[in-house]
Amino acid sequence: MKMHLVALAGLAIGVALAAVAQEQNAVNQQARQEIEGLILKGDDAYNQNNPAAVAAQFTYDAIEVFGWQSRVDAASGQPAISERYAFQLPSPGELSNKLIQLYAIGNEICAVTEFQHVVLGRKGYSVRIYVREGDNWKIRMAYAN
């Protein structure tokens, strides 16, 4: 009987430790689904040559930084981001982002994605800071490499 209790306690500790390891900076399931939905929507907008829809995912004062060139290429503000995508989108190719990590940072969320651009033939990563604006999550800052 005692052995059973010890075994149960051990199992409980195992499950609890696993949960604690995951809970630090954990993002609730609903927020996760919302961010996943936005990532999908952003990829669709990009793949449908819609720069306004891509830029609509950003806050008005957002910064987007491309880090794959020898020098950082930053677009500051939603209009500049929209303009950049308008310039790039005539032959966008297929872009798909896969969410690989979410961290809660206070009221905001840091999302790390891995992306694949079929036409450019490259893989990369993006780090996005999502903030709450009204009922929506918007990107306040994004870095892609």
Partner 1 sequence: MKVCLLLIIAALITSLVMPAIAQEQSAVDPEVRRQIEASIMKADEGFNKSDAAACTAVYTQDAVEVLAWETAGGAATGQQAIEKRAAAMLASNPAKLVRTLIQVYPIGDAICAISEFEHTFGKKGYCVTIYVRELDEWKVRTVHWR
By CB under 8 A, name the binding residues for partner 1.
3-4, 6-7, 9-11, 13-15, 17-18, 20-22, 24-25, 61-63, 65, 67, 71-72, 74, 76-77, 100-101, 103, 105-106, 108, 110, 112, 123-125, 127, 129, 140-141, 143, 145
3-state secondary structure the chain: CHHHHHHHHHHHHHHHHHHHHHHCCCCCHHHHHHHHHHHHHHHHHHHCCCHHHHHCCEEEEEEEEECCCCCCEEEECHHHHHHHHHHHCCCCCCEEEEEEEEEEECCEEEEEEEEEECCCCEEEEEEEEEEEECCEEEEEEEEEC
Give the shortest CB-96-to-partner 1 separation in angstroms. 17
Euclidean distance between CA atoms 121 and 32, whole angstroms: 28
Give the shortest CB-97-to-partner 1 separation in angstroms. 13
Give the shortest CB-50-to-partner 1 separation in angstroms. 24
Euclidean distance between CA atoms 49 and 88, whole angstroms: 9
Q: Choose between 48 and 72: whose C-beta lies nearer to partner 1.
A: 72
Q: Choose between 106 and 134: whose C-beta lies nearer to partner 1.
A: 106
Q: Choose between 89 and 127: whose C-beta lies nearer to partner 1.
A: 127
Q: Choose between 45 and 139: whose C-beta lies nearer to partner 1.
A: 139
Q: Choose between 18 and 52: whose C-beta lies nearer to partner 1.
A: 18
Give the shortest CB-74-to-partner 1 separation in angstroms. 5
